[in-house]
Amino acid sequence: MPSGTPLAHETEILAAAESWKRGGRGVAIATVIETWGSAPRPVGSHLVIDGEGNFLGSVSGGCVEGAVIAEAIEAIADGKSRLLEFGVADETAWRVGLSCGGKIAVRVEPVT
């Protein structure tokens, strides 16, 4: 891989999570575990986050990453997993909804 490649693959994303953790950073892994309708990223996709909000990968086309990262930082702090659901029906659709009209469930899990 050339350095600085902007497009990260699942293997690189998970490898980054491991090296961040070994480097002493808090790390959480977010995974798309269910989708309904048209969803931008398939089931199994990962976003990895460190305690300072640095991240790699994606669970949507960028629509809900901000909310997932915020939850991930809390998950790293309290050591507990979270299950998040996002869809257009959400009242906060303008902020964290999926503009594609799909729905996704995302599991956020701290690496212990």
Partner 1 sequence: MNLDQLAKLNRCLAARQAVVVVSALEEGLEPGDRVAVLTPDEIGARHDAEALHEAFRSGKSGMVEIAGRRFFLNVHLPPVKLVVIGAVHISQALAEMARLADLDCTIIDPRTAFATPERFPDTRVIAQWPDVALPPLGLDRYTAFVALTHDPKIDDGAILHALTKECFYLGALGSRKTHAKRLERLAATGAAPEALARIRAPIGLDIGAVSPAEIAVSILAEIIGAMRAKPSRAAGTSA
Q: Which residues bind partner 1 (CB under 8 A)?
A: 1-2, 7, 9-11, 14-15, 17-18, 21-22, 29, 31, 33-34, 42-44, 79-81, 83, 107, 109-112
Which CB sits closer to partner 1, 9 or 95? 9
The distance of closest approach from Cβ of residue 94 to partner 1 in the complex, given in angstroms and rounded to an integer, is: 29
Which CB sits closer to partner 1, 25 or 93? 25
Q: What is the dihedral of CA 76, 82, 87, 91, to 10 degrees?
A: -80
- C-alpha gyration radius of the chain: 14
Distance CA 108, CA 95 (A): 19
The distance of closest approach from Cβ of residue 2 to partner 1 in the complex, given in angstroms and rounded to an integer, is: 6
The distance of closest approach from Cβ of residue 47 to partner 1 in the complex, given in angstroms and rounded to an integer, is: 13
Asked if 102 contacts 90 with a C-beta cutoff of 8 angstroms, the reply is no
Three-state DSSP state, 47: strand
Which CB sits closer to partner 1, 93 or 107? 107
Asked if 81 contacts 75 with a C-beta cutoff of 8 angstroms, the reply is yes
The distance of closest approach from Cβ of residue 19 to partner 1 in the complex, given in angstroms and rounded to an integer, is: 9
